Amino acid sequence: MSRLCVFCGSSAGARPEYAETARDLGAALARRRLGLVYGGGSVGLMGVLADAVLAAGGEVIGVIPGPLATRELAHPGVTAMHVVGSMHERKTRMASLSDGFLALPGGLGTFEETLETLTWSQLGIHRKPVGVLNVLGYFDGLRVQLAHAVGEGFVRPEYAALLLFEERVPALLDAVLAWRPPALPGPWLRPGQT
């Protein structure tokens, strides 16, 4: 594993712990010689994370759609910046450059990107780990929603289990690095079918 894609907010959020955790993650990625692939912004948690990786001497690759490059203030100091034509192209490029996916707290884009990569894992489009850093219980609601979807028969338990939840940076990185793709049935099968 050489690079991890991190989804996170273009806002810093309401609590200082979010930015502190982004800084901790950035420093930990660099210490473990894992490059960062992210949305390319210089503001919010995106900027904090990228700055922390760069300050620790790590590699940072940004991927940003042209129309957002000005609005999100594309980070001028990254190792490499890929300017793409659309959000779909952004996600595809980020996935192709990464060996796994992490999410820090963020808004609708962070939720969408995280769930899309989880869906890609379920469908076998990629065989890479997907995890969330549950800072101050930020993703507790997602965990509850996934359990509810399992209970209601819309998500198989083994697919819900594809999403790694950890509260501390070292634990999440350890879980991602130790992750091995499980053998999964196709998503179109009913429980009990093989």
pLDDT score at 69: 83
What is the pLDDT at residue 71? 66
Residue 28: per-residue pLDDT: 98
Q: In this structure, is residue 93 part of a structural domain?
A: yes
Which position has the higher pLDDT, 191 or 69?
Answer: 69
Predicted pLDDT at 193: 43
Q: Answer whether residue 194 shows pLDDT above 50.
A: no
The CATH number given to whatever domain includes residue 98 is: 3.40.50.450
In this structure, is residue 68 part of a structural domain? yes
Span 55-74, mean pLDDT? 89
Let me know if residue 193 belongs to a domain: no
Does the pLDDT value for residue 185 go beyond 90? no
**Residue 160 within a domain:** yes
Q: Residue 34: what pLDDT?
A: 98
Residue at 95 is within a domain:
yes
User: With bands split at pLDDT 50, 70 and 90, how would you rate the model's confidence at 187?
Assistant: low
pLDDT in tens, 82-116: 999 999 999 999 999 999 999 999 999 999 999 99
Q: How would you write the chain as a 3-class SS string?
A: CCEEEEECCCCCCCCHHHHHHHHHHHHHHHHCCCEEEECCECCHHHHHHHHHHHHCCCCEEEEEEHHHHHHCCECCCCCEEEEECCHHHHHHHHHHHCCCEEECCCCHHHHHHHHHHHHHHHHCCCCCCEEEECHHHCCHHHHHHHHHHHHCCCCCHHHHCCEEEECCHHHHHHHHHHCCCCCCCCCCCCCCCC
Q: What is the pLDDT of residue 68?
A: 84
Report the number of distinct structural domains present in the chain: 1
What is the reported pLDDT for 50?
A: 98
User: Does 29 map to a domain?
Assistant: yes
Mean pLDDT in residue range 14-20? 98
pLDDT of 184 strictly over 90 = no
Domain membership of residue 170 as a residue range: 3-178
pLDDT band, very low/low/confident/very high, at 72 (cuts 50, 70, 90): low
Structure confidence by residue, pLDDT tens digits, 116-157 = 999 999 998 999 999 999 999 999 999 999 999 999 999 999
Let me know if residue 190 belongs to a domain.
Answer: no
